[in-house]
Amino acid sequence: MPTYDFICNACQQRFDQFMTFNEYGNKAVNCTHCGSDKVRRRMTNVRIAKTDEGRLESMADDFSGFEGLEDDPKALGQMMRKMGGEMGEDLPAEFDEVVDRLEAGQSPAEIESVLPDLGDDSTGDE
C-alpha cells in the first residue's frame, strides 16, 4: 500500500497515511497528531532508480575533466555534491560538512586540519 505524506494546516505537523490507490482522494484524511481534517498533501522527492552502471556513466559524462580541481575548492565541492547526489545513497553528515566547506572556498588541507578525525573508521577492534 502506498504511503502518502501530509501536513496539517492546524498544527503544522507532518504525518504519513497508508492508503490504496482507490482510497486516495476518496477517503477522508485526519491529522494523526491533532485529529484535524484541515490537511494538505505534501509533495516528496521522486527518485528514479538507475543501475550502478548508469550512475557511473552519468558521472563520467559530467566529470570528464578532473584536472585542476585540486586548485579550485569551490569547483571540487560542487563536483562532490553532484557525485553524492548521483550515488543515490544517504551519505554521512560529515560529507555535507566537507562539501559545504569546499564550496565556501576552504582548501582540502584546511579542512583536514580542522577535522583531523574525518574518515577515521577505526573501531578499536583488531
Q: Are residues 94 and 69 in the same domain?
A: yes
Cα 31 to its chain centre, rounded Å, is 26
Residues of the chain with pLDDT > 90: what percent? 23
Q: Are residues 27 and 60 in the same domain?
A: no
| Tally of structural domains, the chain | 2
Q: Are residues 100 and 71 in the same domain?
A: yes
Distance CA 39, CA 28 (A): 10
All three cell numbers of 44, joined, read 516528496
Distance CA 51, CA 109 (A): 34
All three cell numbers of 43, joined, read 509533495
Q: Are residues 56 and 36 in the same domain?
A: no
Q: Are residues 36 and 66 in the same domain?
A: no
Q: What is the pTM of this model?
A: 0.43
The tens digit of pLDDT for each residue in 56-98 reads 676 666 555 566 676 788 888 888 887 777 666 677 778 888 8
Closest CA to 80 of 100, 65, 61, 105: 100
Q: Are residues 67 and 103 in the same domain?
A: yes
Q: Which domain holds residue 79?
A: 52-114
Least confident range of 29-38, 66-75, 101-110: 66-75
